[in-house]
Amino acid sequence: MSKKSTSSKPASFQYDAIVIGTGPGGEGVAMQLAKAGKSVAVVERYEAVGGGCTHWGTIPSKALRHSVSRLIEYNNTPLFADNRVSRSLTFSEIMNHASGVIRAQTRLRASFYDRNRVSLYYGEASFIDANTLEIARADGSRDTITAKQIAIATGSRPYTPPDIDFTHPRIYNSDSILSLDHDPKSIIIYGAGVIGSEYASIFRGMGVKVDLVNMRDRLLSFLDTEISDALSYHLWNNGVVIRHTETYKSVEGKDDSVILNLESGKRMRADCLLFANGRTGNTDMLKLENVGLEADSRGQLKVNKNYQTSIDNIYAVGDVIGYPSLASAAYNQGRFAAEAMLQGQTHSALVEDIPTGIYTIPEISSVGKTEQELTQAKIPYEVGRAQFKHLARAQIASTQVGSLKILFHRETKEILGIHCFGERASEIVHIGQAIMQQKGDANTIDYFVNTTFNYPTMAEAYRVAALNGLNRIF
């Protein structure tokens, strides 16, 4: 995969390594190298560290979701029913909480670089050659820095097709929606992937009328079908209008509304539009041609198992290399890439079963195989289920929507998949994940039957589901 560096520089460099980008992937590389005693510089194009994850993606959207979820909980809890008045909050009010979380995360992450004596450069990086970067600042000043090795961790941004005017004050992508400063009564969300589905939950929870346009024939088709159906039903039951197998023809931005014209001939109108259909790797500003690298049509770079590009001293991690495009995975990719940069190869790899957390209301989380995958592979599996409404802790907390599903091998009882829908699903799934990662007899559904769980807890769902599944075996 790799070939010789195209650099003509001498062997003395300012730094052992430069990392471009300070999201989870870049942070993983920089911290691991710094702790190994290497001199490291990081380049961040924005005014604060943290990358898209902290400023526009994972952190703000999850903080938004949490606030809206608590608002729904307040309005639906019998304890507060005496008020007889539903509380409501504007998007701007809820963003104030999210902004505080972003500030706290930024301060924390900046302290990591400071504590580990990593040099921080603010500006936009581009390659001069395989060991030299130019850093351009907003004020027009430029710096040149050199290093023996370079890691690209520039992340991704929302895909914005050229025929849609994203400068229009009523047309947003998943980054710019965070600056929404009015209070829409209705919104069209185009794209029903993870981001679109999460924002559909958020806006509907705030009482906004939501139309969710999906290009596929079902929501989040990579999920276990029952879980996908549960989400569809829950959104539908809460008043979200979902339109499947639709694609847009054109978008008209008006003074008082946005009109979405679909290829099927339908016309839809709302106060604003959120376009959430895909993401593009941030590689177009790097001048990759100067080192002989080329990104694919989605702006992504190809790497080998050591996260090394075709240029032997240049590595890449995170969204910019594609799958799985998760903050959690990017941080580990960064650590593994740093190991390869230090030792010539990495001895670690991402586990095959990476947990998926989808922060709709309620949450979805899964790890391992779906029922559909196991059926197709002709693996004889059985299902164990626990419904949250039967758990004392869920009854106490009034979080009774949802269930836990364990898939396991009929003969060996090996756990093959965990699927959870409901409040705190992304926490609950890790208990099952921990047992799935064990070897041999330690990875069986019997663990959940023979273990004593705290009572009352949501974790107890594992014991209920395990007993339910074992009762199906004959």
Question: What residue ranges do the domains of the chain occupy?
Answer: 15-158+280-343, 171-277, 362-470
Q: What is the average pLDDT across 94-99?
A: 87
* Spatial distance between the Cα atoms of 33 and 210, rounded to a whole number of angstroms: 46
In this predicted structure, what is the pLDDT of residue 352?
82
The string of pLDDT tens digits covering residues 270-288 is: 999 999 999 999 999 999 9
CATH code of the domain occupying 15-158+280-343: 3.50.50.60
Instruction: Write the pLDDT tens digit of every residue in 405-450.
Output: 999 999 999 999 999 999 999 999 999 999 999 988 889 999 999 9
Cα dihedral sign, 89-90-92-98 = positive
Residues annotated as binding site for FAD?
A: 44-53
- For residue 7, what pLDDT band results from cuts at 50, 70 and 90? very low
**Which pLDDT does position 303 carry in this prediction?**
97
Give pTM, 2 decimals.
Answer: 0.92
Tell me, what's the pLDDT at 3?
45
* Alpha-carbon separation of residue 22 from 154, 285, 336, 352, 382 (angstroms): 8, 16, 16, 25, 44
Model confidence band, residue 82 (pLDDT cutoffs 50, 70, 90):
low
Report the interhelical angle of 194-205 vs 225-237 (nearest 10°).
30
- Residue ranges for the binding site? 44-53
The pLDDT value recorded for residue 79 is 74
Q: Can 15-158+280-343 and 171-277 be said to share one CATH topology?
A: yes
pLDDT higher than 80, residue 229: yes
Whether 6 shows a pLDDT value over 50: the answer reads: no
Q: Residue 2: pLDDT above 60?
A: no
Overall CATH class of domain 362-470: alpha beta
Asked if omega into 362 is within 30° of 0 (cis), the reply is yes
Of the candidates 332, 338, 333, 336, the one whose C-alpha atom is nearest the C-alpha of residue 347 is: 336
Q: What fold characterizes domain 171-277? A: FAD/NAD(P)-binding domain (3.50.50)
Chain-centre distance for alpha carbon 14: 35
Of the chain, the percentage scoring pLDDT greater than 70 comes to 97
